Structure 1
Amino acid sequence: MDVFEFRDKLVGDYRDFTRSFIQPKANDINHFLDSEYDGGRYWPSPLIQINPSYVTEGTVESLASQGILSPVTADIFRFGKNASSSGHPASLYKHQRQAIDCCLRFEPCVLTTGTGSGKSLSYFIPMVDAILKAKAEDSTPRIRAIVIYPMNALANSQREELEKFLSDYPDDHRPVTYARYTGQEDQDERERIMQDPPDIILTNYMMFELLMTRQNERDKAVIRHAQGLQFLVLDELHTYRGRQGADVAMLVRRVRERMNLNLVCIGTSATMATDGTREARQAKVAEVASKLFGQAVPPANVIGETLQRQIPVEMPSRETLARALDKPLPDHADFETLRHHPVAAWVELTLGIVKDEGVWVRAKPKTLEDAAALLADASGHLPTTCQHYLARFLLLAYRVRDINDKPLFAFRLHQFISGAGNLYATLEAPGERKLDLHGQQFVPGDRSKRFYTVHFCRNCGQEYYPVWHEQEPETGQLGFQPRTSRTSPATPTISPTVF
């Protein structure tokens, strides 16, 4: 799939959809709206983000051979499992290994790594290992870990991921059990959880709040089964802000007091603190997490990602880039050949990673136009040529795979789309009136000219202005005030009027 063509089609379809409801009759309004739509007001240029390469550190199997993890944990967490293969050992990124060590020490921690960095495995691996070891000493069925997601869709997704690792075990002989409890379950599912509690519950904070406060026997039984809870995970920690953050912080404290004072809290978030030095950001995240968890989180337990270069070529010179762009890209390429391509180095060092305080960090996402302008400056080619070449190169780099079926560059195209709002205009003749989409009350710099909401006839497209015909408070003269279905006149009204 050409994601750039897909994006253009998506935006085109959305434009046609939003413009299909009203066909304004006035030429000046049509010209104004066309210019706003063409300028990308409701869909700015998409942002390009390159998935970086993470530093790896061993496998789950190697940790099991060292006695750090259980052999059963190594059997569970294997990639590529299917009916005909047991898969291969799950390799670990450095930040995953750091999180595993932290969890196995039963210390609170926060993972602040990017999307696609394997944050869920960072806590599921040590969580499952701790559950296996605890069940070896006490096999009484009970809930030992609860994972709280901000959205049910995330809970559903993680349930599917767990199923991939445990699907090769018979349902009645799984070493670790799990269940979703978000309100989407039917009566039978809830009864099963009450009668035979799973080791891990996937839920959302509102449902967990209800479980803690409702008094029906089923919910009370679930809470009883969670006595001695070992782990509590708050996924997407940055979503818990303001009043919701205070609610979640109080919930965690009640859970700790009611179930286990030594409960281990784990948080994950792709973005939290962005200002200051690396140490300052860690300290700020640790401070926020400590307030949410109700226990001190050491800054050292705020775990970020450790990135590395995957392209062996340094930033190419202007001449090298210019020569590379002069040559057409092939439809197919060898992984190693493309890996040594000058544009590959430019993409990685411009759109992928940059140095910050001596370490590699993710580059800020850029629009395709901005990226093309940077490539044009670096190569001397026209921006339009660079934009076309860059889009084709990224698509080729995604199709080219290494021996582990990983692309040279996995990239994301972020497209933000906003809904169309109201049109506002002054009470002047077509062609002379001021038009606006921001919802301002007056024309900037001229408070004698007021904006009014413009409505349209759905049949003929004729515009009209709902107003109140009333006395101006300052002058006592008759004038017009904006009218909506929710407003009433401030002074005695002559009549509601439509122009």
Structure 2
Amino acid sequence: MNPYILAEKVEEKYLQYLKTMFYFKDDGLRRSFEETLDAGHLSNGPYLEATPIFKRAKNTTELFTETLGVEPEQGFMQAVEGERQLYCHQENSIRFTALGKNVVIATGTGSGKTEAFLLPILLHLYKEFVSGQLGNGIRALILYPMNALAFDQRERLGEICRKLEAYHSRFRFTFGQYVGDTPEDRNDQYRNAREAWDNRLPGELVFREQMRATPPHILLTNYSMLEFMLLRPHDSPLFDNGNAQWWKFIVLDEAHQYRGTKGMEMGMLLRRLKQRLSEGGRRDGFQCIATSATLASDSKDVGRVAQFAQDLFGETFEPEHIIRGKFEELTGESRYTLLLEDYKLLESARPNSVTELKVKLSSLASQHGIDLAEARKWEEAIYITVVWQIFMFFFKNWLKRPANPEVWTDLTTVPA
């Protein structure tokens, strides 16, 4: 992956969005707006952050087999990439939820928090399928602070449903995204019903009318829409007349956002939801899952996080069920110090060829006892340079409009 090209693509997409969303009818004003955007002051960077490597555990097939007592259907395992090794925190989440525990998944960005709550939900649905109990009805509610996050989840669920069909699995599930833009029915032109129907994903219910008639197994929404759904009589089929008996999971994504007044409002909303579901036929308790990349930055925080989650959901959370990431231990020297002359060399470097770039970088690396020839790919060499503090100058000077663009399209090897 070329970070320079990636940053350019992100900026290009953002520019396109701004020009589309803020289209001025006046030619002069529109031209002035576009010229200002094209002046190149929209973004800085790219900036890289070296993230830790999370420890791996069992693969999904092994863990599901252990939890179920029998090996799951092959098509189901292929759809959820059963051979992929889970992270330790994902395995812990599946184990704890299988025991009926409420959990907080407090791991960093890009750590697979979505799989950590989605796989337990799919495992529960599969259990019901095997026992012949998987009929219509909501089993899991996933609340997002923004519709964009719910839309991303929608695509992920659609892909799993597509794979279930492709691998001829007998297990199927349904899902629906109920937000402000969700059309009422096929005739809802205001909310672009035709487009929603044409772009529907495998397993997806796209109309509110559908979701009331045959509630999906997984419901995606936001807290504002949930508030409306609890108030509107025509949404009562989602909660009342025995339809609530299947509800089990309440998932709150980005839970750290619900603090102070906003947290009190969410806490009251969740209590109203649970009361409504209890009145609508739910006899057993609820299983609550919260995710956050920032709630528990240290092991000393788990008690406080457990209390926060307990106050938010009104359910019991134990400190041992606050799941934090476990990292691989990095070996080798912990720090490299560059001299003033090294920075001057990097700052003055303006390579016009791949060979020159590699020589410059390898020469400096060798002075610090690092052999970049051991790196199997150029990306690994870049990672090594990040470790010893080169990246600030590397991206400032070499990734900023290099004289020869081919320098960045052929970085696949390092000199022997």
Partner in structure 1 of residue 90 of structure 2: 96
Given the alignment of the two structures, is residue 118 of structure 1 paired with residue 112 of structure 2, yes or no? Answer: yes
Task: Supply the distance in 1 between the matched residues of 2:324 and 2:411 (Cα, whole angstroms).
Answer: 29
Q: Does the CA-based 8 Å contact 2:2-2:408 persist in structure 1?
A: no
- Say whether 1:264 aligns with 2:287: yes
Q: 1:149 corresponds to which residue?
A: 144
Distance in structure 1 (CA, Å) of the matches to 2:90 and 2:411: 27
The alignment partner of 1:303 has SS state of: strand
TM-score between both structures, scaled by the size of structure 1: 0.57
Residue 169 of structure 1, CA deviation: 3.4
- Alpha-carbon deviation of 1:45? 6.1
Aligned-partner Cα distance in 2 for 1:300–1:396: 47
Q: In the TM superposition, what are the counterparts of 1:403-418 in structure 2 within 5 Å?
A: none
Separation in 2, partners of 1:399, 1:190: 50
In structure 1, the partner of 2:386 is: 347
Partner in structure 1 of residue 181 of structure 2: 184
Other-structure match for 1:470 = none
Q: 1:235 aligns with which of 225, 228, 253?
A: 253
Would the alpha carbon gap of residues 322 and 232 (structure 1) be closer, same or farther in structure 2, given more than 3 Å must change? same
- Mapped partners of 2:409, 2:117: distance in 1: 31
Match of 1:314 in 2: 333
How many angstroms apart in 2 are the aligned matches of 1:239 and 1:51? 23
Pair 1:138 & 2:155 matched: no
Percent pairwise identity: 27
C-alpha distance 203-72 of structure 1, shift in aligned 2 (>3 A): farther
Compute the RMSD of aligned alpha carbons.
Answer: 4.4
- Measure the CA separation in 2 of the matches of 1:8 and 1:134: 47
Equivalent of residue 376 in structure 2, options 336, 344, 362: 336
Change beyond 3 A, Cα 1:114–1:329: same
CA contact (8 A) 2:46 2:395 kept: no
Structure 1 residue 50, shift from structure 2 partner: 2.5
Counting only pairs closer than 5 Å after superposition, residues 80-479 of structure 1 correspond to structure 2 as: 89-135=83-129, 136=131, 138-170=133-165, 174-188=171-185, 189-216=207-234, 219-224=235-240, 225-259=243-277, 260=282, 262-274=285-297, 278-309=298-329, 313-315=332-334, 327-329=359-361, 336=376, 344-345=383-384, 347-348=386-387, 372=390, 384=393, 387-388=396-397
Separation in structure 1 between the aligned mates of residue 230 and residue 124 of structure 2, nearest angstrom:
25
Match runs of 1:23-34 below 5 Å: none
> How many residue pairs get matched?
338
Aligned CA distance change for structure 1 residues 254 and 339 (closer, same or farther; 3 Å):
same
- How far apart in 1 are the matches of 2:290 and 2:73? 22
- 1:137-156 per-residue CA deviation (whole Å, 9 max, x = no partner) reads 53442111111111111111
Cα distance, 1:72 vs structure 2:
4.0
- Contact 2:75–2:164, Cα closer than 8 Å, also in 1: no
- Contact residue 180 and residue 225 of structure 2 kept, 8 A: yes
The gaps in structure 1 that reach 5 residues or longer are 24-36, 82-86, 351-370, 376-382, 402-499
Kept in 2, the 8 Å contact 1:76–1:166? The answer is no
Secondary structure of 1:272 counterpart: coil
Alpha-carbon displacement from aligned partner over 1:438-495 (angstroms, at most 9, x marks no partner): xxxxxxxxxxxxxxxxxxxxxxxxxxxxxxxxxxxxxxxxxxxxxxxxxxxxxxxxxx
Distance 1:105 1:168 in 2: 28
1 CA distance for matches of 2:375 and 2:73?
33
| In structure 2, C-alpha distance between the alignment counterparts of 1:193 and 1:333, rounded to whole Å | 58
Q: CA deviation at 1:129?
A: 1.1
- 2:23 corresponds in structure 1 to none
Q: How far did 1:220 drift?
A: 0.7
Letter in 2 for 1:185: T
Determine the C-alpha separation between the residues in 2 that align with 1:119 and 1:74.
Answer: 24
What is the CA distance between 1:322 and its match in structure 2? 6.3
- Residue number in structure 2 paired with 1:48: 48
Partners of 2:8 and 2:155 lie apart in 1 by 31
Contact 2:63-2:91 within 8 A present in 1 as well: no
Distance 1:308 1:74 in 2: 31
Amino acid at match of 2:287: V
Larger radius of gyration: 1
Give a deviation string over 1:370-429, Cα, whole Å, max 9, x none.
x55xx7xxxxxxx8578546999xx9899769xxxxxxxxxxxxxxxxxxxxxxxxxxxx
Shift of 1:109: 0.7
Whole-angstrom distance in 1 between the partners of 2:302 and 2:315: 16
> Cα distance, 1:121 vs. partner?
0.8
- Counterpart Cα distance in 1 of 2:137 and 2:8: 51
Alpha-carbon distance change, 398 to 237 in structure 1, aligned in 2, over 3 angstroms: farther
How far apart are 1:198 and its partner, in Å?
A: 1.6
Separation in structure 2 between the aligned mates of residue 279 and residue 44 of structure 1, nearest angstrom: 35
Could you tell me how far apart the structure 2 residues matched to 1:229 and 1:67 are? 21
| Bigger helix share | 2
Q: Is the 8 A contact 1:76 1:165 kept in 2?
A: no
